[in-house]
Amino acid sequence: MKKALILIAAVLSFTTQSQAVKLGADTQSLALNGGIDFESAAGVNEHLRVGYGYFIMDYFEVGGVINVQHNDAVTTFGFGPKAEYNFELDLPVVVPFVGAAITFQHTKVVNSTMFVNSTTHQIETKQDSDVKNALNLDVYGGLKFFVTDQFAITTDLVISAATSDVYERRDGATSKTNARIELGLSYYF
């Protein structure tokens, strides 16, 4: 326990040595966010989001995102614009933020059905797939922890709503809504 506390104190002392956060107009950003769920109904579920942003004014960023989600039953690819606002709190390393993205999503859902073959009396699996396209709204908010003036570790809660059933639920069905926590890295230049 002491070693963990010493490690946390060392990391925090390193991050507090960072200069004031510079998220002013004309700054650009690259972001990589994602999550992984090892206990999904359809195997391991990976979600990855890559984004680019440009600050059109201090603390306000516009840009675009590309996201990919995959497991044994659902594969999704999406892209679209985003907007994000960062709050100035006079804290040297922590910046709260909120944002939204509207993406077009292309999803392939694979349905597996088990049945007993009447001729061989053995259990067999039948797979069919369904392709769905949807408009999706992601609303998110979280915290950026700046390690240096240009590099931040992010954590955020993302709530998504789509026009079609493109998100897998725990029971194996699909849904129009989803909520998840993502971790990420952001680089500002």
Give per-residue pLDDT as tens, 59-100: 999 999 999 988 877 788 999 999 999 998 877 789 999 999
Q: How far apart are alpha carbons 42 and 72 in whole angstroms?
A: 5
Least confident of 14-23, 125-134, 155-164: 14-23
Instruction: Say if 81 falls within a structural domain.
Output: yes
List CB contacts of 93: < 8 A, sequence separation 6 or more.
15, 16, 18, 21, 145, 146, 147
Residue 174 has pLDDT above 60, yes or no: yes
Residue 41 has pLDDT above 70, yes or no: no
**Domains held by the chain: number:** 1
List CB contacts of 118: < 8 A, sequence separation 6 or more.
none
Tell me, what CATH number does 81's domain have?
A: 2.40.160.20
Instruction: Say if 19 falls within a structural domain.
Output: no
Q: Pick the more confident residue, 189 or 114.
A: 189
Instruction: Say if 109 falls within a structural domain.
Output: yes
Instruction: Say if 14 falls within a structural domain.
Output: no
Residue 7 has pLDDT above 60, yes or no: no
DSSP state of 25: T
Instruction: Say if 16 falls within a structural domain.
Output: no
Instruction: Say if 55 falls within a structural domain.
Output: yes
Instruction: Say if 146 falls within a structural domain.
Output: yes
For residue 139, the enclosing domain spans 24-188
Instruction: Say if 7 falls within a structural domain.
Output: no
